[in-house]
């Protein structure tokens, strides 16, 4: 049973925090009601002994790669983890009796998808940047076992292909790939032939990068903060400049037609290669169900095509498919594959993070002296739905925080999808981000087929579907320029209050859809009531619904 999951960035407020997760560990133990004495096993993503010869070669062949020599084997890594874990719990290392298991990076990714999926048997794939010198791994999951059937090794990587172009296009912050995915819809695949030379697909599940275009095989690029969002040194090389023209210098340089077309071509090539690989995986396994993980699995544009293009009829991608979710995978791998415990849990929702008492919410409002009304659920839903129908922008903070990068109705900013201007208003006045970035539609699951060309459930906002042509003018705000929407389907059993809000809005307007974006402003998603109140006060939101409390700006 998965009891709690949260990323450390939500506590430290440093996006993509890579330090030891002291706060997350304490929260998870508190949520489970257990103490350090109750811990028997600890799963950790990453195993220094995996692909050891390949790691040693890279360490000796590249100056910066020599840092890998400092990884002195699994026993040392286990000791470091145990020491840090004990420190989190206020213990001496000798007092912590738990056994530490180091789980290879992609096994952790694959486990994070399969072991919490609804499938007894499925094809499983991890498509990522790198981990333990592997970029891609695939196999079959059955019951409590995972069988690896193949992998693609360093330096060839779909994740590095996308990252290199993300940086080439001037998006230099760590995790900016999703910006390029949005930008790609504004261009045409003018450079697709060049992309096919940069990323080659000889067949099956193999692929190769033209390493004249990338430098990660020669040097490790460290992640740096310098007081702001994390950045990674460049992984692109001059081969990209020779093929596609000058690099965009950064966010200050305007995005032009060439940039849009490069983004479109690169996204198209990723789609071609990934879908071809998954067709091969379907043919090899003969299975109808697919579990997908890794950073590339967050590319919802590709994900939305899998059922139509590959032969797989069912797809499961857990909400934290990127490296943050390997914590879940490492624990699941130890529990099921190594210890043999049966599977009884299916990840049907992502509400696994902290929640806060009503008194805490009240105190967060009283501190700055905000006027508020406390309401019962029915009245709260009706009042909020009416405000949304009037064009007001609502900060919606309820229950347990979501696990993963998407706000799914508990830490969300909501708006009326019928108002075309809402996209520009939110980007400019609240989110303060690029105007080409799309927003997501949240739709009642049973109404999905009325608004989208596919109605396969998408509870984690990881699938993009075409909005029905006759409906695009009815929900212009979350409909992207190419006529698609990265939708979240909502079933009442998953989130009763959010479901009721969408349904009430639908009853008032005839549109059972809300525009949904994360409750933040260029920072990690709000975790605490105080952070929600602060974001509400400093942005142009009109309404804050904090637990049972309704606040409206004059």
Tell whether the model's pLDDT for residue 37 goes beyond 90.
no
Whether residue 34 has pLDDT greater than 70: yes
Looking at residue 375, which CATH number applies to its domain?
3.90.870.20
- Give the per-residue pLDDT at 374: 98
Query: Do the beta carbons of residue 328 and residue 117 sit within 8 Å?
Result: no
| pLDDT per residue as tens digits for the range 405-420 | 999 999 999 999 999 9
**260, part of any domain:** yes
Q: Is residue 98 part of a domain?
A: yes
Domain of 243, CATH number, reads 3.30.420.40
**Same domain flag for 246 and 362:** no
Q: What is the mean pLDDT of residues 215-237?
A: 70
Q: Are residues 64 and 194 in the same domain?
A: no
Q: 152: exposed, middle or buried (C-beta count within 10 Å: 0-12, 13-18, 19+)?
A: buried
Nearest 5 degrees, angle CA 540-CA 546-CA 550?
75
Q: Does 363 lie in the same domain as 295?
A: no
Mean pLDDT, the chain, rounded, equals 93
Nearest to 1 by CA among 336, 399, 405, 337: 336
User: What number is the average pLDDT over the span 535-553?
Assistant: 97
Q: Do 375 and 523 fall into the same domain? A: yes
Tell me the pLDDT band of 52, cut-offs 50, 70 and 90.
Answer: confident
Which range of residues forms the domain containing residue 483? 358-552
Please tell me the predicted confidence (pLDDT) of residue 184: 97
**pLDDT digit string, tens, across residues 151-182:** 999 999 999 999 999 999 999 888 899 999 99
Per-residue pLDDT averaged across 28-47, rounded? Answer: 92
Q: What is the pLDDT of residues 444-503, one digit of tens each?
A: 999 999 999 999 999 999 999 999 999 999 999 999 999 999 999 999 999 999 999 999
84 and 194 fall within a common domain:
no
Q: Is the dihedral of CA 117, 120, 126, 132 positive or negative?
A: positive
Pair 329, 293: CB distance under 8 Å: yes
Where do we find the tokens 């609502």?
A: 394
DSSP state of 67: G
Judgement on whether residues 364 and 308 belong to the same structural domain of the protein: no
Look at residue 393 and tell me if it is in a domain: yes
Is 345 inside a domain boundary?
A: no
| Alpha-carbon separation of residue 546 from 260, 356, 411, 463, 529 (angstroms) | 39, 10, 10, 29, 7
Concatenate the DSSP letters of all residues of 193-245 into one string: HHHHHHEEEEETTEEEE-GGGB-TTT----EE-TTSS-EE---B-HHHHHHH-
**What pLDDT does 233 receive?**
80
Say what the pLDDT of residue 69 is. Answer: 46
70 has pLDDT over 70: no
**Reported pTM:** 0.94
Q: Which residues pair with 351 in a beta bridge?
A: 402
Does 474 map to a domain? yes
What DSSP string describes 292-338?
A: EESGGGG-HHHHTTHHHHSS-SEEE--TT-SGGGHHHHHHHIIIIII
pLDDT at 72: 39
Domain boundary residue among 305, 338, 371? 338
The mean pLDDT value for 141-150 works out to: 97
> Residues 291, 440: one domain?
no
Does residue 326 register a pLDDT over 70?
yes
What phi, psi does 5 have (nearest 5°)?
-155, 135
Percent of the chain's residues with pLDDT above 90: 81
Give a yes or no: residue 278 inside a domain.
Answer: yes
What pLDDT sits at residue 433?
Answer: 85
Please state the domain count of the chain. Answer: 3
How far apart are the C-alpha atoms of 387 and 408, rounded to whole Å?
A: 20
The pLDDT confidence band at residue 17, using thresholds 50, 70 and 90, is: confident
Angle between helices 358-366 and 529-538 (to 10 degrees): 40
Give domain status of residue 149, yes or no: no
| CA dist., res. 125 & res. 107, Å (int) | 10
CA distance 88 to 86: 5
- How far is Cα 415 from Cα 387, in angstroms, rounded to an integer? 9
Give CA–CA dist 344/245, Å, rounded: 53
- Kindly report the number of other CB atoms within 10 A of residue 227's CB atom: 5
316 band by pLDDT with thresholds 50, 70 and 90: very high
Q: Does residue 276 share a domain with residue 222?
A: yes
Quick one: which of 406, 439, 427 has its CA closest to 539?
Answer: 427
Residue 32 has pLDDT above 70, yes or no: yes
Quick check: 61 pLDDT over 80?
Answer: no
Residues 311 and 390 in one domain: no
Is residue 87 domain-shared with residue 187, that is, in the same domain?
no
In a domain, 194, yes or no: yes
pLDDT of residue 230: 61
Residue 394 shares a structural domain with residue 501? yes
Average pLDDT of span 243-265: 96
| 63-93 as b/e: b if 16+ CB within 10 A | eebeebeebeebeebbebbbeebbebbebee
Q: Span 334-349, mean pLDDT? A: 97
Q: Which pLDDT belongs to residue 418?
A: 98
Alpha-carbon span 161 to 153, nearest angstrom? 14
Give CA–CA dist 141/113, Å, rounded.
10
202 and 298 housed in the same domain = yes
Helices (H), 115-191: 158-168, 177-184
């Amino acid at each position: 049973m998965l009891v709690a999951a949260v990323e450390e960035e939500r506590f430290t407020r440093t996006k993509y925090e890579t330090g030891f997760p002291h706060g997350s560990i304490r929260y998870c133990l508190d949520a489970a009601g257990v103490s350090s004495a109750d811990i028997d096993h600890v799963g950790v993503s990453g195993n220094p002994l995996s692909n050891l010869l390949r790691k040693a070669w890279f360490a000796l062949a590249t100056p910066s790669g020599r840092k890998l020599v400092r990884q002195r084997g699994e026993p040392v890594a286990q000791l470091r983890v145990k020491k840090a874990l004990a420190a989190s719990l206020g213990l001496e290392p000798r007092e912590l009796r738990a056994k530490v298991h180091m789980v290879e990076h992609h096994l952790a990714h694959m486990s994070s998808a399969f072991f919490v999926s609804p499938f007894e048997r499925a094809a499983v794939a991890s498509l990522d940047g790198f981990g333990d010198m592997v970029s891609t791994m695939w196999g079959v999951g059955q019951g409590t076992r995972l069988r690896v059937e193949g992998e693609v090794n360093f330096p060839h990587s779909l994740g590095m292909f996308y990252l290199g172009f993300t940086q080439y296009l001037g998006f230099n912050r760590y995790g900016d790939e999703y910006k390029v995915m949005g930008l790609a819809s504004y261009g045409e695949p003018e450079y697709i032939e060049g992309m096919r030379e940069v990323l080659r697909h000889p067949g099956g599940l193999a692929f190769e990068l033209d390493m004249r275009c990338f430098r990660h095989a020669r040097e490790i690029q460290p992640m740096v903060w310098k007081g702001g969002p994390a950045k990674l040194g460049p992984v692109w090389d001059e081969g990209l400049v020779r093929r596609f023209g000058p690099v965009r210098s950064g966010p200050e340089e305007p995005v032009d037609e060439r940039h849009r077309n490069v983004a479109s071509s690169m996204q198209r090539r990723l789609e071609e290669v990934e879908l071809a690989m998954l067709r091969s995986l379907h043919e090899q396994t003969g299975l109808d169900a697919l579990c997908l993980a890794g950073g590339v699995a967050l590319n919802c544009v590709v994900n939305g095509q899998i059922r139509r293009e590959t032969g797989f009829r069912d797809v499961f991608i857990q909400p934290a498919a990127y490296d943050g979710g390997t914590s879940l995978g490492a624990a699941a791998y130890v529990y099921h594959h190594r210890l043999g415990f049966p599977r009884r849990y299916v990840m049907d929702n992502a509400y696994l993070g902290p929640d806060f008492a009503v008194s805490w919410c009240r105190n967060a409002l009283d501190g700055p002296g905000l006027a508020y009304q406390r309401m019962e659920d029915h009245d709260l839903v009706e009042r909020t739905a009416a405000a949304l129908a009037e064009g007001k922008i609502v900060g919606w903070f309820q229950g347990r925080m979501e696990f993963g990068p998407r706000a799914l109705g508990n830490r969300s900013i909501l708006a009326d999808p019928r108002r075309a201007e809402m996209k520009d208003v939110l980007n400019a006045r609240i989110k303060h981000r690029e105007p080409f970035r799309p927003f997501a539609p949240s739709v009642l699951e049973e109404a999905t087929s009325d608004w989208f060309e596919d109605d396969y459930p998408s509870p984690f906002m990881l699938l993009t579907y075409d909005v029905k042509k006759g409906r695009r003018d009815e929900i212009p705000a979350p409909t992207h320029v190419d006529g698609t929407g990265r939708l979240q389907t909502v079933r009442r059993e998953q989130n009763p209050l959010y479901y009721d809000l969408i349904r009430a809005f639908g009853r008032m307007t005839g549109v059972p859809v809300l525009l949904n974006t994360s409750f933040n402003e260029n920072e990690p998603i709000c975790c605490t009531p105080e952070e929600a109140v602060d974001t509400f006060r400093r942005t142009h939101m009109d309404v804050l619904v904090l637990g049972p409390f309704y606040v409206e700006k004059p």
